[in-house]
Amino acid sequence: MIQEIVPEARIGVGHGQLPEHQLEEVMGKFIAKEIDVLLCTTIIESGLDIPSANTIIINRADQFGLAQLYQLRGRVGRYKHQAYAYLLIPGALAISSQARQRLNAIEELSELGAGFQLAARDMEIRGVGNMLGRNQSGHIASIGFDLYSKLIEETVKELKGEEVQRQFIDPEINLQVKGYIPKNYIPDLNQRLDVYRRLQLLDTLDDYNAINREIIDRYGRFPESIEKLLYLVEIKTICRMLHIRRVYIVNGDFRFDAERTTPISPRVIPGALEAGFVFVSEFCLGLNLKRKNWKKDMFLIADRLKVILRLVNDVH
């Protein structure tokens, strides 16, 4: 088919079933530029340095792993000439969601030294393997790499008989608002991931205010999507401090469920009721929202949670 499309091209074929001498002969001709096109399998994935090759076409790229795509792409661009890697797929809707994530990652992470970031992205897509078995995938994406690492660290301490301080609360936030960092606000992927990571691990309002000022100082005025994200992070940070495990909206009302370890003691409750909260159950409080727009709702929720935080600090 290639010969019909480009009759003048000199084509060689290389794959793992060829006799050793024949494969060596084909590769030698390609390196010596006696062959224009090398049609091959993933046998060229690693260990080959062919400076004259500046273009690679990978058919059915959705069938390859992220590490494979990274290695295959690295076969070209090893000299001073501009290199190109074309990844062919049957269509965006014809491939799996994981395949789309892999292709997006290989497209975004194209700069020098991107190997570590690709490995981390691959780990989040596939999941970390079973530490005590042969499984090569897991569910890290559901909790995030940082929290996964923290859980592993705590488990290792438990096995060693060391004391584990379980103070890290990861609240579930479901307030019908979505925030994110747009690519045109922070174009560099590594910087975007670093900001996401730092926002995920905040556990004091001082840290939240500091990163808030840093972001606007470095990248400029917030777009709406960033504003939504920061409101959610602020609420999540306060929830973490109050040991609130879940916040959500039911029939227009804001509610939160607290852990049994919450510092919201009976002495705090009268002040919480004065701030507009109502009892739903022993560890659940509710707040009526006006539901005018997302910004007023988020401001009201954050403001009332801060009232409870101040009451807790006053009591202690």
Q: What is the pLDDT of residue 103?
A: 86
Token pair for residue 118? 């690709």
Q: What is the pLDDT of residue 138?
A: 55
Contact predicate 58/86, CB 8 Å? yes
Q: What is the pLDDT of residue 124?
A: 64
Q: What is the pLDDT of residue 132?
A: 47
Low-confidence ranges of the chain (pLDDT < 50): 131-133
Q: Where are the beta strands (DSSP E) in the chain?
A: 11-14, 37-40, 55-58, 84-87, 172-174, 244-250, 253-258, 277-281, 284-288
Question: Beta partners for 254?
Answer: 249, 287
Q: What is the pLDDT of residue 167?
A: 56
Contact predicate 106/70, CB 8 Å? yes
Residue range 173-202, pLDDT digits in tens: 888 888 888 888 988 877 888 888 888 878
H or E stretch including 107?
helix 97-108
Architecture per CATH, domain 2-126, reads as 3-Layer(aba) Sandwich (3.40)
Residue 225 DSSP class: H
Q: What is the pLDDT of residue 238?
A: 92
User: What b/e string do you get for 2-22 counting C-beta neighbours within 10 Å, with b at 16 or more?
Assistant: eeeeeeeeeebebeeeeeeee
Residue range 50-86, pLDDT digits in tens: 888 899 999 999 999 888 888 888 888 877 788 899 9
- Residues ≥6 apart with Cβ < 8 Å to 237: 202, 203, 204, 205, 207, 208
Are β-strands 253-258 and 284-288 bridged in parallel, bridged antiparallel, or unpaired?
Answer: antiparallel
How far is it, in rounded angstroms, from Cα 161 to Cα 163?
A: 7
| CB burial of residue 63 (10 Å; 0-12, 13-18, 19+) | exposed
- Residue 81, amino acid: H
Are β-strands 84-87 and 244-250 bridged in parallel, bridged antiparallel, or unpaired?
Answer: unpaired
Token pair for residue 48? 């080959």
Q: Where are the domains of the chain?
A: 2-126, 129-162, 167-315
Angle at 146 between CA 256 and CA 239, to 5 degrees: 15
In CATH, the number for domain 167-315 is 3.90.1150.50
